[in-house]
Amino acid sequence: MARSKHGTPVRGMDSVAHSSVRDQRFGRMFRNLPAAAFTEDAITDLAKTMFQGEFAEKIEEGKPVDVALNEREPEDENPAIPAGFTYFGQFLDHDITFDPVSSLDRFNDPDALQDFRTPRLDLDSVYGSGPADQPFLYEDDELHLLLGEDKDFDGTRKNRPDLPRNSAPIRRALLGDKRNDENVIVSQLHATFLRFHNKVVDTLRSRDFELCQQTVRWHYQWIVLHDFLPRIIGRETYERVIVGRGEKPNIRFYNPQGRYAFIPVEFSVAAYRYGHSMVRPSYSLNRIVTKPRPVEQPFNGKTATFNRIPIFSLLEGEPLANLNGFRELPGFWPIDWAFFFDGIAPDGEPPAGAVLPQPSYKLDTTLVDPLTSLPDHRHEPIKIRRALAALNLLRGWRLGLPSGQAVARHMEMEALSDEQLFDSEDADRKRARAALLTNHPGIFKGNAPLWFYILREAEIFGNSQHLGPVGGTIVAEVLAGLIREDRHSFLAQWPKWRPTLPGAEPGHFTMADLINFTNGSGAV
State how far the alpha carbon of 322 is from the alpha carbons of 46, 90, 310, 333, 353, in Å.
29, 18, 5, 12, 24
Cβ atoms of 480 and 251 within 8 Å: the answer is: yes
The rounded distance, in Å, linking the Cα atoms of 463 and 62 is 32
Residue 424 lies in a domain: yes
H helix count then E strand count, the chain: 17, 6
Give CA–CA dist 37/403, Å, rounded.
9
Other C-beta atoms lying within 10 Å of the C-beta of residue 425: 9
What is the distance between the alpha carbons of residues 482 and 325, in angstroms, rounded to a whole number?
29
d(CA 388, CA 267): 17
CATH number at residue 184: 1.10.640.10
| Type of residue numbered 76 | D
Find residue 360's DSSP bridge partners: 78
Backbone angles phi, psi at 26, to 5 degrees: -90, 170
Beta bridge partners of residue 447, listed in sequence order: none
Phi, psi of 512 (to 5 degrees): -65, -40
Give the predicted TM-score (pTM) of the model. Answer: 0.89
Q: Is residue 3 part of a domain?
A: no
Residues 238 and 246: their CA atoms lie apart, in Å, by: 10
Q: Count the domains in the chain.
A: 1
Burial of 155 (0-12, 13-18, 19+ CB in 10 A): exposed
Burial class (CB in 10 A: 0-12, 13-18, 19+), 436: middle
Cite the DSSP H helix spans in 20-176: 40-48, 57-61, 84-96, 124-127
Is the Cα torsion angle 60, 62, 63, 66 positive or negative in sign?
positive
Residue at 153 is within a domain: yes
Closest CA to 287 of 318, 312, 308, 305: 308
What is the C-alpha separation between 308 and 285, in angstroms, rounded? 8
Burial environment of residue 345 by CB neighbours within 10 A (0 to 12, 13 to 18, 19 or more): middle
Residue 254 is predicted with a pLDDT of 95
Rounded CA separation 24/509 (Å): 29
Q: Within a domain: residue 203? A: yes
* Strand locations in 246-308 (E): 263-264, 282-283
Whether residue 268 lies inside any domain: the answer is yes
d(Cα 519, Cα 57) in Å, to the nearest integer? 42
Q: How far is CA 437 from the centre of its chain?
A: 30
Per-residue pLDDT of the chain (524 residues; tens, 9 = 90+): 344 333 333 333 332 323 333 455 788 999 999 999 999 999 999 999 998 765 444 434 444 445 545 455 778 999 999 999 999 999 999 999 875 445 445 455 555 455 445 789 999 999 999 999 999 999 999 999 999 988 765 555 567 899 999 988 888 999 988 999 999 999 999 999 999 999 999 999 999 999 999 999 999 999 999 999 999 999 999 999 998 778 899 999 998 866 578 999 999 999 999 999 999 988 989 887 765 443 334 333 334 344 688 888 755 566 677 898 999 998 888 999 999 999 999 988 887 778 899 999 999 999 988 888 887 887 788 888 889 999 999 999 999 999 999 999 999 999 999 999 999 988 889 999 999 999 999 999 999 999 999 999 999 999 999 999 999 999 999 999 999 999 999 999 999 999 999 999 999 999 999 999 999 865 55
Is 291 contained in some domain? yes
Contacts of 442 by beta carbon, 8 Å cutoff, 6+ apart? none
Residue 1 lies in a domain: no
CB-based contact 454:270 (threshold 8 Å):
yes
**Segment holding 519, helix H or strand E:** helix 511-519
CA dihedral 502, 239, 360, 362 (to 10 degrees): 180
Domain that holds residue 352: 13-519
Buried b (16+ CB within 10 A) or exposed e, 100-118: eebeeeebbbbbebebebb
- Domain assignment of residue 230, yes or no: yes
CB-count exposure of residue 496 (10 Å: 0-12, 13-18, 19+) = exposed
Closest of 372, 366, 330 to residue 63, by C-alpha: 372
Contact indicator for 518, 289 with CB cutoff of 8 Å: no
